[in-house]
Chain A
Amino acid sequence: MSRLTKTHVSPGAPGSGTFRRTLGLRAVAVTAALPLMLTACGGTDDGVAEDGSWAPTQAIEITAPAATGGGWDTLARTSARLLEEEGLVDHSPQVVNKPGAGGAIGWGYIANNAGDPHKLFVTSPPILLVPMAGDSDHDHNDFTPIARLATDYMVYLVAADSDIETFAGLAEQVESGDLSVGGGSGPGSMDHVALAGALQAAGADATQANYIPFDGGGEALTSLLGGHVDAAVVGVGEALGMLESGDLRAVGVSSAERVDAVAEVPTLVEQDVDFTFDIWRGVMGPADLTEEQVAYHETLFADLMETEAWKEESARLGWTDAYQGSEEFGVFLDDTRGEFAEILTEVGLQ
């Protein structure tokens, strides 16, 4: 449904999921009761200890500003489950889905709960791109960065029998205007920015690119398979199956160093195209949190990422750990926004 939000769900290696997990029915009860359990916080106990540190007095609620089954939902549910299983929290965290408007509905919900330290949400590049497109009443400045957790990358694909061998070759043909490039999200959103930025870095005129937006990376890939478009840009996770089967060929990946899952694909940087693009994922909270509250959550997620279970899960989902604490994450968000703005201005979308 969401047109702006890309729900990048990255898989693990095929066949690696045969182990069983024993989560049981608790998660069911939690989800089933979601809408009913949005109890107001407050009360007399504000969770501040004598030494001034803070700890939650009730269950932390993690909002996925999208429907179940997407990338944000996966992140929210995975972290909630591991936080509980690893015994890092006293109350089982609850996952709340607030789908709509590419995330803006969920962000609105969090914004309305400013100062509530028990309400976090999962986030990724759309928190910058959707507001830049003017489609959200709130942008990343309205929230408190907690931590950046993991990242995934973009991959640039052509058909297996294409005569294009390198990203430079792709850029050259795209610039000539007779090559169409499919992506899984609307103009001005992730896939388009990842394409335009890379073209620009390769010295091509990104405004000449014939970018065709599809509803999701999968659709873009089928169109490429069927020869309806000539190239595609999607998340690594989405393309994994078709790269493995040899139906499609990658001419570049947007990471700084090669990605394990697609180790044979050269990075753009290796090809002298100075561009990287991260599909980072992180956690943010509402505005007006105290230093102590931020510190608590920051440590909580840092601890989570130290656990074996997290490492196992994130490897399976194809994520690369990319932890940043609150302050660092905030700076990163500002920088990235600037970078995006530059690219969008360049292609005439801002």
Chain B
Amino acid sequence: MGMLDQLLYGFSIALTPENLLYVFIGVLAGTIIGILPGLGPMSAIALMIPIAYGMDPTSAIIMLAGVYYGAIFGGSTSSILLNAPGVAGTVATSFDGYPMALKGQAGKALAIAAVSSFVGGTIGVVGLMAIAPSLASFAVSFGPTEYFALMVLGLTAVVSLGGRNLTKGLISAVVGVIVALVGIDSQTAITRFTFDRPELYEGVEFLIVALGVFALAEVLVMLNRRGKGGVRKAVTSLRLSRGELARITPPTLRSSVLGFFTGVLPGAGATVASFLAYSMEKKIARDGKSFGQGNLKGVAAPEAANNAAAVGSFVPLMTLGVPGSGTTAILLGALMVLGVQPGPTMLTDNPGMFWGVVASMYLGTVVLLVLNLPLIPVFAKVLNTPRTMLLPLVVVFCVVGVYGLSFSVFDLGLLAAFGAIGFLMRRNDFPAAPLILGLILGGLMETNMRRALQISGGEWSVFVTEPISAGLLVLAVLSLLPSLVRVVRRRPAAGTPAEVSAPVDGSEERTPTPRG
């Protein structure tokens, strides 16, 4: 039981009063920063780096890891309560979390988020402990070809995120992909869609778009209604019934495993994981149609996945020295400044740190749960804040979040523009989720496709001759089949009396999808 000994050794490091305090500080700071819309784990860690500079490296990484998953968890709170995801990884949580809050089930949604985050985090830590060293080879097995296929699979989620009208969903996704193209092309160093603005050279920051089309658009919609409608109901208790727990258990477990493995891939990460989990569960669930309208599973799946993925992303960081996401890249920078070189030799050179971190992550997920369950009713009270106070506050947080990212006034203009776009989309029934999905996955898909083709010398067949890539593409086709079949079947029947009387939204029947 070498591993158990090592884990105990790890706990002996993590359980010193000093390090325990750092876990607590990290998780608390992360949660608070994460709750603020617009501030995610990246900003949270960046804010904490100066503090970490003066610390013992092991304590520092224990604290920073706490900040990381604390912020991911905190992000879900603002996604659910305000529809303002502060973290890319919690965008998917808002799809069902915010509708739940609108139905007066904010407490329940937060509780589900807390519990499934805990499960996801725990499964992630167990995975990290048990198979991290052997996972390194899994992580490197994904090259550009495989990442392209993975992103294609991820993009098929558009079909499930697209809402009632597939065409509008696809249009929205394409807009997202176009936004992803803005900036200096990393393959040719040529600027695309930058209109000679240096501010656009590095592309449009994801967070600006997310806050614009979700949070600001929501504020505009509420203003347009003159404050009527929306959340008025009292916040119900956070208690989950046994039946509800039973309903979210299988999706939580599945999503945790999926999330962990997605997180292990250096090119994927928590955001991709949460979208994959959400669309997988929507397809599996018998009540998949109610996803997007406040389905419990729609909160549990992405929350379990993003937390498991956050832990999973420590695998490439600590076993290869390669950051799996922007956040772990910052973490890597911080570690190097602290004199630690994560990499293949870390487990042998610095076992105290490796196992200390693993043990502290376990403690961290527990602290997270203990800290947050009692706080949920407090958080949920946010919704009782009078509109006249809440709406300006949301705007302030969005502005601060975006400005704090780059200190650029230009970005604030972008935020306003995306707020307006989001509002117009809402008014005309275009779903915002596919836009976000296209933005996140589109850029990765394009870059990896071109890299793969450049390596293969322009040979397209690599995508089907590489086994992993072929497998993922087959999965992508399979996941599209049911929708395609439905569209093809419906087409000849369209307009028949039986079809019109079907209990579907009327507007959709008037505008049949022009293409399959």
A contacts, CB < 8 Å to B:
1-4, 7, 9-18, 20-25, 27-28, 30-32, 35, 67-70, 73-74, 77-78, 81, 98-102, 104-105, 108, 133, 135-137, 178, 180, 186-189, 210, 212-216, 218-219, 221-223, 225-229, 237-238, 240-242, 244-245, 247, 316-317, 349
Query: In the complex, what residue of chain B is closest to A23 when comparing beta carbons?
Result: B54
Instruction: List 9 A-B residue pairs with CB atoms under 8 Å apart, sorted by A's residue number.
Output: A14-B350, A20-B54, A24-B54, A27-B53, A135-B189, A137-B198, A213-B186, A225-B140, A227-B143
The size bracket of the interface on B is 35 or more
Closest to B143 in A: A228
Selected contact of B336 from candidates A9, A15, A133, A136, CB within 8 Å: A9
The answer to whether B454 and A210 have CB atoms under 8 Å apart is: yes
By a CB distance below 8 angstroms, the chain A residues around B350 are 14-15
CA A10 to CA B184, docked complex, whole Å: 26
A11 adjacent to B340 (CB under 8 Å): yes
B355 smallest CB distance to A (angstroms): 15
Contacts of B139 in A (CB 8 A): 222
Q: Which residues of A contact B145 (CB under 8 A)?
A: 228
**A263→B303 CA distance, assembly (Å):** 47
Q: B45's closest neighbor in chain A, by CB?
A: A69
Counting chain B CB atoms within 10 Å of each CB, the highest count among A100, A133, A227, A242 belongs to A100
Q: Please, what's the 1-or-0 string for B171-203, where 1 marks a CB less than 8 Å from any CB in chain A? A: 000000000000111111101000000110111
For residue B329, which residues in chain A have a CB less than 8 angstroms away from its CB?
69, 216, 218
Chain B residue at minimum C-beta to C-beta distance from A188:
B189
Known: A9-B332, A104-B201, A213-B451. 10 other contacts (CB 8 A): A35-B407, A77-B50, A77-B53, A100-B199, A102-B201, A212-B144, A215-B447, A221-B321, A222-B140, A222-B322
Contact between B333 and A2, CB atoms less than 8 A apart: no
A21 touches B53 (CB 8 A): yes
Residue of A35, A133, A223 near B144 (CB, 8 A) is: A223
Q: Specify which of A68, A100, A245 is in contact with B49 (CB 8 Å cutoff).
A: A68
**List of B residues within 8 angstroms of A14 by Cβ:** 340-341, 343, 345-346, 349-350
**B189, A133: Cβ atoms closer than 8 Å:** yes
Give Cα distance in the complex from A69 to B41, angstroms: 14
Interface centre among B54, B139, B141, B331 (most CB of A within 10 A): B54
Give every chain A residue within 8 A of B57 (Cβ-Cβ).
17-18
Contact A11 B336, beta carbon cutoff 8 Å = yes
**CB closest residue in chain A, given B191:** A135
Per the bound structure, the CA–CA distance linking A23 and B321 in Å amounts to 27
Residues in B neighbouring A25, C-beta threshold 8 A: 51
Complex-state Cα separation, A30 to B349, whole angstroms: 34
Report whether A102 and B184 are in contact in the complex, using a CB–CB cutoff of 8 Å: yes
Contacts of A238 in B (CB 8 A): 321
The smallest beta-carbon distance between B94 and chain A, in angstroms, is 23
A219 CB to nearest B CB, Å: 7
Q: What residues of chain B lie closer than 8 Å to A101, measured between beta carbons?
A: 198-199, 201-202
Report yes or no: A100 in contact with B266, Cβ–Cβ below 8 A: no
Question: Which residue on chain A has the smallest CB distance to residue B456?
Answer: A180
Residues of B within 8 A of A99 (CB): 406
- In the bound complex, what is the Cα–Cα distance between A73 and B320 (angstroms)? 23
Contacts of A105 in B (CB 8 A): 198-199, 406, 408
What is the distance, in angstroms, from B134's C-beta to the closest C-beta of chain A?
14
**Contact digits for B303-339, partner A, Cβ 8 Å, 1 yes 0 no:** 0000000000000100011110010011111101111
User: Contact between A210 and B333 (Cβ–Cβ < 8 Å)?
Assistant: no
Contact A12:B56 (CB < 8 A) given known A100-B198, A212-B455, A228-B143: no
Chain A residues within an 8 Å CB radius of B191: 135
Do the beta carbons of A189 and B189 come within 8 Å of each other? yes
| Shortest distance from the beta carbon of B62 to any chain A beta carbon, whole Å | 14
> What is the CB-to-nearest-CB distance from B338 to chain A, in angstroms, rounded to a whole number?
5
In the complex, what residues of A have CB within 8 A of residue B267's CB? 219
When C-beta atoms are compared, the residue in chain B nearest to A98 turns out to be B407
Set of chain A residues within 8 Å of B336, measured between Cβ atoms = 9-11, 74, 237, 317
> A22-B54, A223-B144 known; A240 and B333 CB under 8 Å?
no
Tell me whether B344 is interfacial, beta carbon within 8 Å: yes
Q: A4-B184, A100-B406, A225-B320 are in contact. Are A187 and B189 (CB under 8 A)?
A: yes
With A14-B341, A241-B346 in contact, do A102 and B47 touch (Cβ < 8 Å)? no
Q: Which residues of A contact B493 (CB under 8 A)?
A: none
Q: Determine how close the nearest CB of chain A comes to the CB of B405; give it in whole angstroms.
A: 9
Instruction: Decide: B349 and A212 in contact? CB cutoff 8 A.
Output: no
* Chain B residues, CB < 8 A from A135: 184, 189, 191, 198, 201
Q: Can you list, as one digit per residue, whether each of B339-361 has a CB less than 8 Å from chain A (1) or not (0)? A: 11111111001100000000000
Q: Chain B residues near A215: list those with CB within 8 A.
A: 186, 447
Give every chain A residue within 8 A of B337 (Cβ-Cβ). 9, 74, 77-78, 317
**Which residues in A have their C-beta under 8 angstroms from that of B199?**
100-101, 105
Separation of A69 and B326 alpha carbons in the complex (Å): 11
Asked whether A241 lies within 8 Å of B321 as measured between CB atoms, the reply is yes
Contacting residue for A242 out of B46, B316, B321, B330, CB 8 A: B321
The residue of chain B having its C-beta at the shortest distance from the C-beta of A240 within the complex is B341
Chain B window 357-384, contacts with chain A (Cβ cutoff 8 Å), 1 for yes, 0 for no: 0000000000000000000000000000
CA distance A136 to B406 in the complex (A): 17
> Within 8 Å of chain A (Cβ to Cβ): is B9?
no
Q: Is A214 a contact of B451 with CB atoms below 8 Å?
A: yes
| Chain A to chain B: the 4 pairs with minimum beta-carbon distance, closest first | A17-B339, A241-B343, A228-B143, A69-B333
Q: How far is the CB of A56 from chain B (nearest CB, A)?
A: 22
Which B residues are in CB contact (< 8 Å) with A16?
339
Contact residues, B91-114 vs A (CB, 8 A): none
B202 touches A229 (CB 8 A): no
- Contact between B140 and A12, CB atoms less than 8 A apart: no
Picked from A3, A9, A35, A226, the residue with its CB within 8 Å of the CB of B140 is A226
- What residue in chain B is nearest A192 (Cβ atoms)? B189
Q: Which residues from A are CB-within-8-Å of B330?
A: 67-69
Cα separation A216 to B139 with both chains bound (whole Å): 16
The distance in angstroms between the C-alpha atoms of A20 and B349, with both chains bound, is 19
Return the chain B residue nearest A69 by Cβ: B333
> Which chain B residues numbered 408 to 436 have a C-beta less than 8 Å away from chain A?
408
